[in-house]
């Protein structure tokens, strides 16, 4: 079945059926998440960021503050 076929079939579903489909799809994705490969460059960047945090855990901003700044800059 193609994506276009799926889109056509989704159009026939009720809202509640679409929500259940999305939940099933998300569960399927979550189940496959362990099979996602991470590039060595991505691993290196994550290690760098973790080391930076370990060295200076008080630096940076917490998410609510970052979110507030981003929203107020628009």
47 and 30 both lie in a single domain: no
12 and 25 both lie in a single domain: yes
1 and 30 both lie in a single domain: yes
The CA–CA distances, whole Å, from 41 to 17, 48, 65 equal 41, 10, 29
2 and 24 both lie in a single domain: yes
**Residue 42 C-alpha from the chain's centroid:** 16
Number of domains in the chain: 2
Domain that holds residue 25: 1-36
42 and 22 both lie in a single domain: no
With a CB cutoff of 8 Å and minimum separation 6, the contacts of 61 are 69
Answer whether 21's CB lies under 8 Å from 10's CB.
Answer: yes
**pLDDT attached to residue 37:** 86
**pLDDT attached to residue 8:** 92
The per-residue pLDDT for range 2-38, each reduced to its tens digit, is 999 999 999 999 999 999 999 999 999 888 877 888 8
pTM over 0.75: no
The per-residue pLDDT for range 51-70, each reduced to its tens digit, is 999 999 888 889 999 999 99
**Does the pLDDT value for residue 74 go beyond 80?**
no
């Amino acid at each position: 079945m193609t994506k276009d076929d799926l889109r056509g079939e989704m159009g026939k579903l009720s809202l509640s059926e679409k929500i259940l489909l999305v939940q099933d799809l998300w569960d399927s994705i979550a189940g496959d998440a362990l099979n996602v490969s991470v590039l060595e460059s991505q691993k290196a960047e994550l290690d760098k960021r973790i080391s930076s945090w370990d060295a200076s855990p008080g630096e940076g901003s917490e998410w609510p503050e970052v979110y507030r700044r981003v929203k107020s800059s628009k």
